[in-house]
Structure 1
Amino acid sequence: MEAVPPSSFIDFPEDVQLCILSFLRPSELAAFAATSKRFGTMCRDDQRLWLSMCDRRWGSQTHITKWGNGKISYKHLYRFLDEYDNLIGFWRRCGDATASSPPLVFFEWGPFYITGSRILPSKNRGYGVIKKPFLWMSVTSNGEPLNYLDFKGKFPLTQGDLMDSEELGLLENELIQVSVSFTDKCHLVVEENSMLGGLNRFSSLENVKGEVSENTFGSPPDRLVHEIYQYFANRTSPGGNGGSRRQRRREKEKQGRMKRLEQEHFVKIVNSSPKPSRPLQGLWKGICEDSSLEFYLVTYDDIGGIACRKVGESSRPLTYHAPVFWTLSGSFIESPLSPEENHIYNCRLHLRPTVEADQSSDDYFRSSDDKAVSRMLYINSSYDLVIPDLAANSINSREVEGRIWQYENGTFGFGFLRDSYIIDLEHIEKNGRLLDTSNL
């Protein structure tokens, strides 16, 4: 029987070739494109290929065909989303200590945009968090970035808004066009565009200070800066008073001129989720002594040490964001624990939120019976490192010695021997989604 020669890639049907090529990254695709003129044209110009590449990489997270109103080149969209992809996850605001915005920010995919939300504890003093959207990032049909700062966090973005903004160049509901720029992969700057229509490649988030600019009625370039505050057209029926409403808004703008925006800087929280080799790593949330909810960041160093800090401003006083605990050894002691260690754990109560607002404060301290400990870790207070004077006031080792108890459900609690309670830390997100959230 005559042997059948093996098939080469060129013999496959074109749709099969496109499917195989969609698994490649652009650098790999460029190398393959150099093999022939036909493949070079396919890799460079075939929209089916670039649509498949976009869909394979981000299709489970966003609607690829809705970006740019479905009119953008998918090759251009791939490059655009590749840059946006680094935004996804948690960032921490740094800089101005007088700014009132919460420090924790979360970026996630939307149907045809990426949204940035400020994350803050809910007001019911439970484990819930509030997600307050303040930045919308998308792209127009001609490939220009379209980024809006919504500092009141109340505007629901729709595709119609993107279309109207392209046609009319106006903004409504106090949206402001901004630019988001990466100084490196882990440092983000958000700032106001210098001109309407003169968008940078990305725009950065800014904090509204509510101050009136001294140059409000200055030179023409200054006036152009303020024009970014113009509104979307009011979408009314033909013959309506939309034009007069827009005129009134513009007049109000001129009289109020203008809320001043300042740059906002953000640092990415790279390892925000636990891993099998680093089970405590990531962002967590826990109830503190005053019953308020705090966010904590647990990090591992290169030699196995572990540190935990409250997520706060680097410019705030040292005692505000000082580490909660530290250890030079990440080695756990597996269950069953010794009778002494069982006693240390069982004699402490867990800090918990109240079930009802009218209950007494004692209800924050509930029994630990519902927590099954899987293993334990020795820790120390870090105050003896960052505030030596506090450590010098005590000769009792129990003042700085503590424990981490990891539970069977993957969460954990920590406490110091000087205290009678345990702070339980719960997950803040899972599989890229925030837990226990409510939109503001």
Structure 2
Amino acid sequence: MEETSIPLPFGDFPDDVQLCVLSFLLPADLAAFSCTCKRFVSLYRHDQRLWFSMCHRRWGSKTLINRWGSGKISYKILYRILHEYDNLIGFWRRCGDAAATAASSSSPLVFFEWAPFYITCSRITPSKDGGYEVIKKPFLWMSVASNGEPVNYLDPDGKFALTEEDLMGESGLAENELIQVNVSFIGECHAVVEENLGFSGFGKDSSSGNLRGEDYENVYGSPPDKLMTEIYQYFANRTSPSGNGSRRQKRKGKDKQGRIRKWEPEHFVKIVNCSPKPARPLQGLWKGICENMSLDFYLVSYDDVGGIACRKVGDSNRALTYHAPIFWTSNLTFIESPFSPEEDHIYNCRLHLRPPVEADQSLLLSSDSRDISVSHMLYINSSYDLVIPDLVGTIANPRQMEGRIWQYENGTFGFGFLRDSYIIDLKHIAVDGHLLDTV
């Protein structure tokens, strides 16, 4: 007698199995699934175990889910907050007017990363000891209060190391010594940090920032009619000449005018594609010792027409050297080893610009030793007239603009030009989202 298998309905599985399976879904998919029966509607809307499982599966290895908002915030709301914060993780570059950044650190590079119950942002500057070490100086902390309100504090001078009591407003340090700020997003790759002039105490300002508790309750599944009502009320309160919202805005504007701004807004743009990929081995953010023997940061990007450009990381308002590429090529065809005797001579007769071993002890322990085997080679050019039309015809000797990229077996690379007697070797600044060689 043949045995027949009877499919088991999903609703008959144990609760822990259902939660495990559902935690793999995105909120939009979960909302669609919840329409299948009333029990799953309730599960989607109110079951904290489900939303905790979703938060823990996505971010549990990066932060402590149950400590955000002192463990009192709804995990459904927390999912929405962490989803938006997730886009912050990585490297960003400061941009904007010189006046707005004059009081800031000279470093244009910042790094957002996960912490136990908050996001921290640090300024990243090259060290001055002649090695590959970078200085990591936290200046911005982003968390959430137990009522779902954003808690963003800024330390312009990087003098404090905040604790949980500080961020939760229990020590008085945050309110007395730090600046409460709003972090607003313009798309996915532009963020603005500006002082919250309407702040009147910890967790009391319902207009601080773009993350508000009331925005999350129905963010994943509001009925269309209710959503349109909310949109109408939102714009009516802000624009109606006779509405209470307009008067509230006027009063708030007068209150802000009476305060002295401690912090000018800073704008940041995200550095996308910060790490190499198999199809783009040179892509990413790198660090290297430049010709004056100081550490600098380099960004290598692949363009839409098949070229590669390398630039130093600097403010958008800096001089031409930070806009124009250090090297550029439209030919992505690597030449594999072994090379011709002429190419071997070009490589072997040049000095590698690296710190002395005693200035960088990491060289003794890493695979990045003095004897690195070259696996591939690529032709490059440093003639700016290739990408800047105004410079066409100004290069006297085009051959002096030619150069090479030597890719090493450990994934790093070096570059040099025929006119120079040295090679600039570039190392990773971060691996798997973690900064290397920090002090």
TM category, shorter: 0.7 to 0.9
2:6 is aligned to: 5
C-alpha contact (below 8 Å) 1:155/1:173 kept by paired residues = no
- TM-score w.r.t. the length of structure 2 is 0.82
Give the CA deviation at 1:199: 1.0
Q: Which residue of 1 aligns with 2:53?
A: 52
Question: Are 1:191 and 1:261, in contact at CA under 8 Å, matched by a contact in 2?
Answer: yes
RMSD: 2.4
SS in 1 for 2:407: strand
Query: Cα–Cα, structure 1 residues 341 and 13, in superposed 2: closer, same or farther, change >3 Å?
Result: same
The answer (yes or no) to whether the contact 1:92–1:104 under 8 Å persists in 2 is yes
For residues 248-327 of structure 1, the aligned pairs below 5 Å read 258=260, 260-327=262-329
- Summarize the alignment of residues 332-371 of structure 1 with structure 2, pairs less than 5 Å apart: 332-355=334-357, 370-371=371-372
Partner of 2:229: none
1:5-84 to 2 correspondences below 5 Å: 5-84=6-85
8 Å contact kept, 1:69–1:159 = no
- 1:103-118 matches, cutoff 5 A: 103-118=108-123
C-alpha deviation, 1:313, in angstroms: 1.5
- When residues 70 and 332 of structure 1 are mapped into structure 2, their CA distance, relative to the original with a 3 A threshold, is same
| Aligned 1:25-424 pairs, distance under 5 A | 25-98=26-99, 99=102, 100-101=104-105, 102-164=107-169, 171-172=174-175, 174-196=177-199, 197=205, 198-202=207-211, 224-225=255-256, 258=260, 260-355=262-357, 370-385=371-386, 392=393, 394-424=395-425
Which structure is higher in strand share? 1
Q: CA separation of 1:11/1:142 partners in 2, compared to 1, >3 Å: closer, same or farther?
A: same
Q: What do the CA deviations read for 1:158-181 (whole angstroms, capped 9, x no partner)? A: 22223335xx98735621110111
Question: What are the superposed Cα offsets for residues 327-369 of structure 1, whole Å, 9 maximum, x if unpaired?
Answer: 0011100011111100100010011123458xxxxxxxxxx96
The aligned residue for residue 219 of structure 2 is none
User: By how many angstroms is 1:290 displaced?
Assistant: 1.0
CA distance in 2, matches of 1:140, 1:200: 13
Over 3 Å counting, the alpha-carbon distance change for 1:320 and 1:5 in structure 2 is closer
Aligned pair in 2 of structure 1 residues 369, 9: CA closer, same or farther (>3 Å)?
A: closer
Structure 1, unpaired ranges of 5+: 204-218, 228-256, 358-367
Cα offset, 1:43, TM superposition: 1.2
Report the AA paired with residue 21 of structure 2.
Answer: I
Structure 1 residue identity aligned to 2:24: F
> How far has the Cα of 1:11 moved from its partner?
1.1
Instruction: State the alpha-carbon separation in 2 of the partners of residues 416 and 274 from structure 1.
Output: 23
Residue type of the alignment partner of 1:114 = I
**Cα distance change, pair 376–38 in 1 and its aligned pair in 2 (3 A):** same
Give the distance between the partners of 2:253 and 2:24, measured in 1 at CA.
48
Q: Structure 1's 11 and 429: CA in aligned 2 closer, same or farther, altered over 3 A?
A: same
For residues 427 and 57 of structure 1, the distance between their equivalents in structure 2, rounded to whole angstroms, comes to: 26
1:405-434 deviation per Cα after TM superposition (whole angstroms, max 9, x unaligned): 000111000011000000001100001000
Separation (CA, whole Å) in 2 of partners of 1:195 and 1:89: 29
The structural deviation recorded for 1:393 is: 5.5
2:208 alignment partner AA: L
| Higher alpha-carbon deviation: 20-29 or 150-159 | 150-159
Distance 1:65 1:288, change over 3 A: same
Q: Could you say what secondary structure the match of 2:169 adopts?
A: helix
For the 8 Å contact 1:311–1:321, the answer to whether it is kept is no
**Cα distance change on mapping 1:51 and 1:338 into 2, 3 Å:** same
Q: Distance in 1 between matches of 2:114 and 2:153?
A: 15
**Aligned partners of 2:164 and 2:20: how far apart in 1?**
30
Partners of 1:79 and 1:334 in 2: how far apart? 48
- TM-score under structure 1 length normalisation: 0.82
Letter in 2 for 1:83: E
CA distance in 2, matches of 1:269, 1:25: 26
Q: Which letter maps to 2:4?
A: A
2:167–2:174: 8 Å Cα contact kept in structure 1? Answer: no
Q: State the alpha-carbon separation in 2 of the partners of residues 336 and 18 from structure 1.
A: 56
Structure 2: give runs of 5+ residues left out of the alignment: 200-204, 213-249, 360-368
Whether the 8 Å contact between 2:313 and 2:322 is mirrored in structure 1 is no
Identical-residue share of aligned pairs (%): 70
Q: Note if contact 1:285-1:293 (Cα within 8 Å) is conserved in structure 2.
A: yes
State whether residues 309 and 328 of structure 2, in contact with CA within 8 Å, keep that contact through their aligned partners in structure 1: yes
